[in-house]
Amino acid sequence: MRWLRDPLWWLVALFIALLLALPHSGGLFAHWFPQLERPLYQQDSFAQLALAHIQLVVISSLLATLIGVGAGILVTRGAGREFRSLVETLVAAGQTFPPVAVLAIAVPVIGFGDRPAVIALLLYGLLPILQGTLAGISAVPASAREIAEGVGMSAWQILCKVELPLAAPVILAGIRTSVIINIGTAAIASTVGAKTLGSPVIIGLSGFNTAYIIQGAILVALLAIITDRLFERLLQRLKRHAE
């Protein structure tokens, strides 16, 4: 029963309980916000919004991880080192470009829905992953590479069996930062028709409905905290394995 003493599982239980309880909390929010005609968000199920939000973050984060880690590996190889500065500049520019602006540009081209949101989150999440990959691979001791070469490993084997395992904690830290950023940023995807936990927040802002904003913001914040704790556990396991 050790899991009962684990704060992470209590957070998960709280998140699920809120998803189930919020649709029945109209009286509570009516008491807190008597001036509002409709104090409870009812356009969509909170559980459906949470699933859609998580799906959007997972898809964009997987794509960002593939591109970010792949680019980081390429520019640390012999033939790609001369492109490192260019890649870092392009990826940094992608994050400094506001997600709202990316959405505004993408919508006329590919329409409303999840696709423009995925593009915006992908661009916004690349930089921490690329930086983590570069830092992790750069921190691998030269002696480890020399030993691997000495036992006859190929360049591919050195990358897969030496560099990436040793760099994994730093790379994962970059992915962790990227995912947490995207959980919060995904909320604005509702402005282009994507269903996320940001839907109550966006509608609440446009309609001056503080209750809607609180309902969406609490769930987004709790989801980010849970995800952060999950990554923390994974990082601890990787570090113990490395030792």
The answer to the question of residue 66 being in a domain is: yes
Residue 197 is predicted with a pLDDT of 93
Structural domain includes residue 21? no
Write the CB contacts of 102 (distance below 8 Å, at least 6 apart in sequence). Answer: 116, 119, 120, 123, 124
pTM of the full structure: 0.90
Crossing angle between the packed helical segments 84-96 and 114-138, to the nearest 10 degrees: 140
Q: Is residue 153 part of a domain?
A: yes
The answer to the question of residue 76 being in a domain is yes
Is residue 28 included in any domain, yes or no? Answer: no
Specify the long-range contacts of residues 135-139, CB closer than 8 Å, at least 24 apart. 135/170, 135/174, 136/166, 136/167, 136/168, 136/169, 136/170, 136/171, 136/174, 137/72, 137/73, 137/76, 137/163, 137/164, 137/167, 138/76, 139/166, 139/167, 139/170
Domain span including residue 212: 46-242
- Residue 230 inside a domain? The answer is yes
pLDDT in tens, 121-133: 888 889 999 999 9
pLDDT in tens, 169-203: 999 999 999 999 999 989 888 888 788 999 999 99
| 217 falls within a domain | yes
The answer to whether residue 80 is domain-embedded is: yes
Question: Domain of 230: which CATH number?
Answer: 1.10.3720.10
Q: How many domains does the chain have?
A: 1
